[in-house]
Structure 1
Amino acid sequence: MDKLIIEGGHSLQGEVSISGAKNSAVAILPASLLTKEKCTIKNLPDIKDVYYINN
């Protein structure tokens, strides 16, 4: 989805959390093991694939 169109006379308020891309996370996590340097990876998606790689 590229955009969300909202029609109506009411103003909107709030926050939306956007998690990272699944395909990128599944590749980046194992790739981080190839270096001896510290890696900080942020904005990982909340999916089972990421959970199982980390545990």
Structure 2
Amino acid sequence: MDQIVIRGGQRLKGRIPISGAKNAALTLLPCALLTDEPLTLRNLPRLADVDG
């Protein structure tokens, strides 16, 4: 599995375009729980796994 290691005192922010693939959506949903900031996910596929 790949990982991103972030070093430095800069706050992370911005926009990242992600494909609407099922695997991208299923990875991003639990990651969204790690932030206290507002988060908008768009272009998610309509799947039973996502709508659950």
| TM-score, with length taken from structure 1 | 0.58
RMSD value, Cα: 1.4
Unaligned stretches of 5+ residues in structure 2:
1-18
The structure with more radius of gyration: 1
- Quote the residue 2:13 is aligned against: none
- Quote the residue 1:21 is aligned against: 21
Unaligned stretches of 5+ residues in structure 1:
1-18
Matched-pair identity in %? 53
The structure whose residues are more often helix, as a share, is 1
Structure 1 stretches of 4+ moved >4 Å: none
CA distance in 1, matches of 2:20, 2:48: 13
Count of aligned residue pairs for this structure pair: 34
Per-residue CA deviation, residues 1-55 of structure 1 (Å, 9 max, x unaligned), is xxxxxxxxxxxxxxxxxx8100000010110000000000000001101011xxx
